[in-house]
Structure 1
Amino acid sequence: MTKQSMLQRSYRLAKPLLFKADAESAHAIAAAAMRAVTPFVSHSHIHERAPKILFDRKVYSPLGIAAGFDKKCAAPEYLHRLGFGFVESGSLTPKPQPGNAKPRLVRLPESEALINKMGFNNPGFERGWRSLRSRLAAAPRDYLIALSLGKGKDTPVERAQDDYVSCLDLLARDVMSEYLFYIAINVSSPNTPNLRALQTGKAIRALVKECVAVSPRPVVVKFAPDFVSDKLYRDSLDAALAAGAQGIIISNTSTNHSLTSVPPALKDFGGGLSGKPLAERARHLLSLTLKHTKGKVPVISSGGVFSPQEARRRLDLGADLVQVYTGFVYYGPDFARDSLRVA
């Protein structure tokens, strides 16, 4: 067991109070506090290992923050100082969206889980990219920033390609987009109507082909964990790869709330489940993806990464990178540091 940092000890003391606030407010408070104190935190542990090369970039820490944490595309440097090697900002949609009505994020503390039905609340591509662009210019070269794109809530699914391609076309016209780590195509959030229909073989092939044709950086596809069979997932995976996908993120949140005990009051809440209950399913899908892709593209494991030990387990299974969100919320600021130091 590694020695806790002062920041981690402070978080553990404050956590009971934070968890009395609603989940969205607590997230904002904790982020503001970490932003204020992390300039004084050493992050030399990031360089304790040799970097790996992925997407033509040197990756010093394989631990990253999943999309949804940095919705406003601030790419806060405090995440880097905490030991995270990259952040996936967004998801951005072409136009600003307020997201779904609150409450839209709830905790299940006994399960170390969250349920969210945020609905791609974001500042819109123009504003979000302007913010991220300035961060790219100032970020340390060992802190990598990726961008996630999504479909607008009111965009008919048959016009979804327009949303992704329009954003990618604007990125391709801006030389600063070359500094992005990768660009994720989010077709798996359960909180945007009909979005997951884009995961089917024919649809994902057409979408990825259009995106790859215009994207200035590698296109990575983020899939859901809720395919009804492994075969259907493999078919979608094959279609995405055949169309030119250069990486896979597996997986997003799950609509299968039976994976844990959900209070009766949340029976009709809807949304996507994240956190510890997804771990077993996520490991299975990671192994399936690695076996099927055979090292042809980088595979990023996400979902159910509830502890530093679990993050290490995903890396040992063969994941090139690991993303965390819910586990970071429950564990605290030392998550990445302890993940890198787990034997």
Structure 2
Amino acid sequence: MDIREDRKKEADDPSEEICDSGFDSVSDSLRSINQEDNRNIKKESPKEADDGDKKDNDNKVDSITEDRLDSSYGSSSITSENLSEILQICKITEEKHPKKPEGLSQQEIEVLTSISDDGDTILHLAVIHEEQHFALHLISLYPKDVLDMQNDLYQTPLHLATYLNQPVVVQALVEKKACLELQDQDGNTPLHVACAQGYLECANELTRENESLLSNVLKMQNWRGMTCMHVATLQGNYQLIELLMRKKANINAQEGTSGKTPLHLGVELHDQSLVSLLLKMGANVDMVMYNGCTPLHLAVGRQDASIANLLCQSGADKLLRNLEGETAQDLADGNDDILALFPFDDIQISGRSVVNF
């Protein structure tokens, strides 16, 4: 890992004080370094300011920012070889028992409190490079606020451990009370990530919290307006849907952009088995979107006679109108299989079918 010269200079003077201060000084040092990095990202360096070319400097800063935003899960500025060197420096993986913070050397403290060019702590990097044993030792060393540090993509170590399907690390972070509600650059919590990737074991670990702590996570929407239940439904993952329901997720939650419930999404996927599962779990067959459309409107509009029939058998109200004043039958577009589901389809007044004569 690249440890910047200015960080080394800052660490040299108060070395004894840092070694004696334990968790608090580790945490304070990390926060200080993080603030310094933020300043470096947003502002010109002294050398660039001396050059006097503000436009070129802005372009350089923009380029750096774009590079970081373009990076993805698993990206970092160090290589596997660099991480091996760090492991050798810390020597934590060789210990049968983790050291106490006050027992760390100055060199170890510098490593543990440094962050990469992508904003990753050493714990982020241990997870990224799948150094599980090392990551578990770091989790035992770090205080909670360091465990919750977010990198430049707003990913915590818990996000990364979930994305990379490391349930043992996820379990350790959850047991250490790592925050479940922090959101990455897409607004996803770690549980959103588990649902999107279909990682049931990680999702199990993330939902072990008691109901009062977990309830808010289950309500949270990402920047697309999706709750974890919406994400699991889009993936068609029955096991995750059942897990979320056991944890009392709201099966009738509306996503934030158009007001669709998981049942609306199931209809759009043309997945009859999924629609049937959601109905059995208590999905409201007549929930409306922001435009007034019910799942039956969507099924008929998509010419899906099988799902339309299933919804009707489950008690869907055929007379409900959307904000355009249309019933589901108005959207049938001459489909005989669908029209057969509606009464009085041959009676029309002013070109409109009469369904309540």
Superposition TM-score, scaled by structure 1 size: 0.27
Larger Rg: 2
Q: Which structure shows the bigger proportion of residues in strand conformation?
A: 1
